[in-house]
């Protein structure tokens, strides 16, 4: 009796015996009378009986007799055999399966985290949108450089963020929107950076920064509970509790608490400001529970509204000394926004950086009227690192830039 369909290896225990079954996968051991076959769910040793041994590491389809605990081959079909020997050390199978299938496990859990994030946003009434990756202006942030596209009819760059296009949708009346997309930034590569990475960006109209900070707390905790069964994760210095509420700490308070200096005594020297922030303050943030660093100097958030105290309505979340997200109470004044972007153009030119155009359709949407809104941009790769205890972004992406 022929098997009707392939059975995943981890499902064999539920198959009635005796019966004829079919499994398929990769041969990872060849003995004189037995082979081991692995698929994505597990591995099984199969008695070859009268069948010829397949090549080592070949993809095979095996039909055989299942007695409830063992399988005896009736036929072995070789679907594809490897060429050469390089794969034994540098192959994709070895990379995915080494250390007890660590990478396979991480990538599977990553998918579960993304599903949990989507599920939370969908349940909170957000609409998932998709906006173009090739845009007329990639943004004018002084610390970002974009990839330009050749052979385009008009100048185009890959997005560093979908912000401009999503804000146009807010002006069009979509009140709660989110996007999971690939973003691109030149010169960013390291243990926490990739030049191409996954961004989650979402906006709430008729809301503010406090609202999207609460979204962040609830969504991250939900993802942790869904995938890990707990809101506690292990950090470099011990356990971190992700459940709300997260601490709120102003930039001024952080400089005084961790660096013993006042921001007013550091600025306008922005180079010194960021050196103190990255070398002295950030390593201490979010070690026991996450913290939102709020109320930034006005010069450091050209897309954020100003608060009554003159600070920018900007926040960044830090967990285990790692920046997880960056959000704003959004600037909606079209005249002020144009002036700030033009200032950024002049600053980029003075530093010898590429000067990108203004996005006139984005500015026109502000002129039409964008409602008061809060928005946040969260690094999905970093969220996965945090929840799964990975120390290098390369561990949680399918293929890093270095492996292309």
Query: How big is the chain, counted in residues?
Result: 404
Encode pLDDT of 27-76 as tens digits: 999 999 999 999 999 999 999 999 999 999 999 999 999 999 999 999 99
- Write out the two tokens for 298: 């006005």
**pLDDT computed for residue 3 by the predictor:** 59
Residue 315 predicted with pLDDT over 90: yes
Question: Which has the closest alpha carbon to 380: 146, 117, 10?
Answer: 117
**pLDDT computed for residue 293 by the predictor:** 98
**pLDDT computed for residue 2 by the predictor:** 60
User: Whole-number mean pLDDT of the chain?
Assistant: 96
| Cβ neighbours around 107 below 10 Å, total | 16
**pLDDT computed for residue 170 by the predictor:** 98
> pLDDT-derived band of residue 188, with 50, 70 and 90 as boundaries?
confident
Encode pLDDT of 208-232 as tens digits: 999 999 999 999 999 999 999 999 9
| Cβ neighbours around 180 below 10 Å, total | 18
**pLDDT computed for residue 88 by the predictor:** 83
| DSSP percent split of the chain into helix, strand, coil, nearest 5 | 35, 30, 35
Which burial class, exposed, middle or buried, applies to 245 when counting CB atoms under 10 A from its CB (0-12, 13-18, 19+)?
A: exposed
Which burial class, exposed, middle or buried, applies to 329 when counting CB atoms under 10 A from its CB (0-12, 13-18, 19+)?
A: buried
Which burial class, exposed, middle or buried, applies to 315 when counting CB atoms under 10 A from its CB (0-12, 13-18, 19+)?
A: buried
The label of the residue with tokens 């008009």 reads 154
**pLDDT computed for residue 254 by the predictor:** 98
> pLDDT-derived band of residue 186, with 50, 70 and 90 as boundaries?
very high
| Cβ neighbours around 323 below 10 Å, total | 18
Give the distance from CA 2 to its chain's centroid: 45
**pLDDT computed for residue 90 by the predictor:** 83
What percent of the chain shows pLDDT beyond 70? 99
> pLDDT-derived band of residue 4, with 50, 70 and 90 as boundaries?
low
**pLDDT computed for residue 152 by the predictor:** 74
Encode pLDDT of 96-124 as tens digits: 999 999 999 999 999 999 999 999 999 99
What percent of the chain shows pLDDT beyond 90? 94
Residue 391 predicted with pLDDT over 60: yes
Region 305-319: what's the mean pLDDT? Answer: 98
Q: Long-range CB contacts (< 8 A, 24+ apart) of 120-127?
A: 120/218, 120/219, 120/222, 120/223, 121/178, 121/202, 121/219, 124/176, 124/215, 125/176, 126/176, 126/177, 126/178, 126/202, 127/174, 127/176, 127/177, 127/178
**pLDDT computed for residue 230 by the predictor:** 98
Cα–Cα distance, 28 to 57 (Å, whole number):
5
Contact (CB, 8 A) for 274 and 317 = no
For the four alpha carbons of 270, 272, 278 and 281, in that order, the dihedral sign comes to negative
Please report the domains of the chain, with CATH numbers, ordered by start residue.
9-85 (2.40.50.140), 99-403 (3.30.930.10)
Residue 288 predicted with pLDDT over 60: yes
Residue 318: cis peptide before it, omega within 30 degrees of 0:
no
Encode pLDDT of 120-170 as tens digits: 999 999 999 999 999 999 999 999 999 999 877 899 999 999 999 999 999
**pLDDT computed for residue 63 by the predictor:** 97
Cα–Cα distance, 102 to 24 (Å, whole number):
22
């Amino acid at each position: 009796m022929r098997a009707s369909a392939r059975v995943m290896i981890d499902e064999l225990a539920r198959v009635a015996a005796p019966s004829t079954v079919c499994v398929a996968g990769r041969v990872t051991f060849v003995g004189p009378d037995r082979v081991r076959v692995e698929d994505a769910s597990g591995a099984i040793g199969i008695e070859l009986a009268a069948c010829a041994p397949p090549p080592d590491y070949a993809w095979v389809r095996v039909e055989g007799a299942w007695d409830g605990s063992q399988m005896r081959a009736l036929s072995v079909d070789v679907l594809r055999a490897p060429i050469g020997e390089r794969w034994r050390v540098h192959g994709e199978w070895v990379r995915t399966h080494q250390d007890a299938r660590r990478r396979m496990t991480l990538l599977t859990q990553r998918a579960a985290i993304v599903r949990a994030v989507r599920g939370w946003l969908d349940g909170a009434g957000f609409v998932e949108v998709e906006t173009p990756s090739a845009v007329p202006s990639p943004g004018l942030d002084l610390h970002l450089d974009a990839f330009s596209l050749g052979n385009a009819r008009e100048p185009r760059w890959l997005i560093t963020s979908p912000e401009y296009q999503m804000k146009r949708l807010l002006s069009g009346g979509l009140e709660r929107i989110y996007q999971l997309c690939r973003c691109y930034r030149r010169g960013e590569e390291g243990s926490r950076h990739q030049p191409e990475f996954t961004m989650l960006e979402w906006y709430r109209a008729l809301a503010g920064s406090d609202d999207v900070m609460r979204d962040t707390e609830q969504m991250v905790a939900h993802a942790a509970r869904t995938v890990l069964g707990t809101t506690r994760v292990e950090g470099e210095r011990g356990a971190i509790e992700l459940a709300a509420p997260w601490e709120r700490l102003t930039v001024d308070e952080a400089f005084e608490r961790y660096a013993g200096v006042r921001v007013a005594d550091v600025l306008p020297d922005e180079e010194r400001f960021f050196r103190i922030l990255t070398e002295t303050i950030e390593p201490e943030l979010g070690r026991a529970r996450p913290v939102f660093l709020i109320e930034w100097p006005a010069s450091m958030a050209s897309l954020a509204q100003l608060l009554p105290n003159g600070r920018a309505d900007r926040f960044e979340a830090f967990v285990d000394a790692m920046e997880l997200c960056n959000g704003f109470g959004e600037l909606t004044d079209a005249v002020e926004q144009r002036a700030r972007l033009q200032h950024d153009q002049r600053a980029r030119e003075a530093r010898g950086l590429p000067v990108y155009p203004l996005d006139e359709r984005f500015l026109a949407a502000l002129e039409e009227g964008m409602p008061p809104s809060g928005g946040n941009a969260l690094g999905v790769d970093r969220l996965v690192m945090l929840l799964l205890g990975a120390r290098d972004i390369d561990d949680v992406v399918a293929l890093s830039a270095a492996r292309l």
